[in-house]
Chains A and B, each alone.
Chain A
Amino acid sequence: MPVSTDELISEITEIVAEELGVEVDTVSADADLRTVQGADSVKVLRVIARIERARDVELEDEAVFGASTIREVAEVLHRALAEEARV
């Protein structure tokens, strides 16, 4: 069954909170990840690496670096999963 973007947002939010060491409810889906307290470019990449492992998917660098918020990352992931499902 295809997973919804909202489910992916929830999943990614948990990973972000873990990587940043903050509570899940303090992380907004629409906040710029690079400006969230405790975040830096390495931690954001680590989040991407964990998403790829968890979902067994390879996200395109262009898409990853073009996404600023959890919602946008979730949309990138959603498109990648949909693309894989078509192959």
Chain B
Amino acid sequence: MTAPADADGLEAIDLPWYVLPDYQCFGCSPHNQHGLRLRFTHHGDGLRTTFRLGRPYESYPGVVHGGLLGVIADEIMGNLIVLRTGQIPFTTGMRLRYVHPVAVGGDYECVARVRDDSTGTLLHAESDIRTRDGEVVATATASYRTVSLDAARGRVALDEPEVDDLHRALAAATTASASTSAAPVSTRTVAGTTVVAGEPTEITVEDSHARVD
């Protein structure tokens, strides 16, 4: 399956979960009509996603519910670790710094990377949510404990064929990610914040799983 391009024309990554015909992850499943349907692209050695949330995700009038930003941050960091390790990450802790309200209907991006202080026991990741102009609106740090798919089977509802499919998809995704993540990414720095180069282009709802109205 070839994923559609994101708003900046980069090809979205096929996540290992896509081999599960009916997975319903609130963050990244294209099948969950109530979910965020986030898509990810490589961003240096990290990941990037773009999103625009509508009124069903509102808190105060015109403001996206802050809990959703936690979902997005957790989702991108977790999937980054999946692609990096081929293992299943469970979030053990997450901390958010809210800087500015996120507007309903506004265009935002979230970028994530694995931190250097990750240990064998826990992986630490961080992510920034920004306006398309590069202004930081929230930051997040989180810790993840990774386990093998076999070890995770006791905690997730997967049958034998699904586990077999997912084993293969995890191995393939890890290999693909390792060969792609080293690719250079065109970036610029604005006041110490690195942002992806290029102007955002308008896309239709059909082109992206990350615009939820």
Query: Measuring CB to CB, which residues of chain A are less than 8 angstroms from any residue of chain B?
Result: 15, 18-19, 42, 45-46, 48-50, 52-53, 56, 58
Contact = CB atoms under 8 A, between A and B. Distances in A.
B97 A52 contact: yes
Contacts of A45: 97-100
Nearest to B97: A49
Nearest to A50: B192
A53 B126 contact: yes
Contacts of A15: 192
A49 B115 contact: no
Nearest to A48: B97
Contacts of A46: 99-100, 135-136
Given A19-B191, A50-B192, A56-B115, A42 B139 contact: no
* Secondary structure of the B contact surface, majority rule: strand
Nearest to A19: B191
B117 A56 contact: yes
Interface residues of B, number: 16
B141 A42 contact: no
A18 B70 CA distance: 27
Nearest to B101: A42
A54 to B, nearest CB: 8
A49 B73 CA distance: 15
A50 B194 CA distance: 12
Contacts of A50: 136, 192-193
Interface in B184-213: 191-193
B95 interface: yes
A16 to B, nearest CB: 11
A69 B100 CA distance: 21
Given A48-B97, A58-B95, A53 B139 contact: yes
Interface string B139-173: 10100000000000000000000000000000000
Contacts of A52: 97, 139
A63 to B, nearest CB: 13
Given A46-B99, A49-B97, A56-B115, A18 B139 contact: no
Contacts of A42: 99-100
Contacts of B95: 58
A19 B193 CA distance: 10
B191 A18 contact: yes
8 contacts: A18-B191, A45-B98, A46-B99, A46-B135, A49-B97, A49-B99, A49-B136, A53-B128
B134 to A, nearest CB: 11
Given A15-B192, A18-B191, A42-B100, 7 more contacts: A42-B99, A46-B99, A46-B135, A48-B97, A49-B139, A50-B136, A52-B139
Contacts of B97: 45, 48-49, 52
Interface string B116-128: 0100000000101
